[in-house]
């Protein structure tokens, strides 16, 4: 069940990233809410984040063995731990954001993602 919840949230975050890259005014949900529309200079960085998020989605789904795991179990576990730590860092940053939308929407998402990846690391 943790895989499904984590995957659904990640798909939402991926969709948000795509919309931000395309110039939609959703910037209040990210980066402290300082930019409603991300500047064009930030969009290449967002593409890098998007690639990392898609990889995270693969790792999480592969943890349930629904799709093939192309790496050994130990390395897969280490990647899950990495993403659990990464989302824990996001949790802290979002919790201290000056943007209320980021604080109240993205903080719980980051917390749930961190828990899902930590649980996936235990179950691999």
Question: How far apart are the C-alpha atoms of 105 and 115, rounded to whole Å?
Answer: 16
Query: Quick count: other Cβ atoms within 10 Å of Cβ 10?
Result: 24
Residue 64 pLDDT grade (very low, low, confident, very high; cuts 50, 70, 90): confident
Read off the pLDDT of each residue in 60-79 and give the average, rounded to a whole number.
87
Q: How far is CA 116 from CA 16, 17, 73, 101, in A?
A: 20, 20, 17, 22
Q: Is the pLDDT of residue 124 over 80?
A: no
The pLDDT of residue 7 is 94
pTM given for the model: 0.89
The token duo for 57 is 């989605």
pLDDT category at 93 given cuts 50, 70, 90 is: very high
Q: What is the pLDDT of residue 8?
A: 95
| pLDDT value for 68 | 81
Confidence of residue 110 (pLDDT cuts 50, 70, 90): very high
Average pLDDT value for the chain = 91
94: number of Cβ within 10 Å: 23
């Amino acid at each position: 069940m943790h895989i499904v919840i984590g995957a659904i949230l990640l798909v939402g975050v991926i969709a948000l990233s795509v919309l931000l890259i395309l110039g939609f005014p959703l910037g209040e949900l990210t980066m402290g809410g300082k930019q409603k529309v991300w500047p064009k200079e930030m969009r290449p960085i967002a593409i890098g984040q998007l690639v990392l998020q898609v990889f995270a989605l693969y790792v999480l789904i592969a943890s349930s063995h629904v799709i093939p795991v192309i790496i050994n179990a130990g390395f897969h576990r280490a990647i899950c731990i990495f993403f659990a730590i990464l989302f824990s860092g996001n949790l802290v940053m979002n919790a201290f954001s000056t943007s209320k939308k980021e604080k109240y929407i993205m903080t719980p998402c980051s917390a749930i993602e961190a828990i899902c990846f930590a649980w996936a690391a235990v179950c691999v």
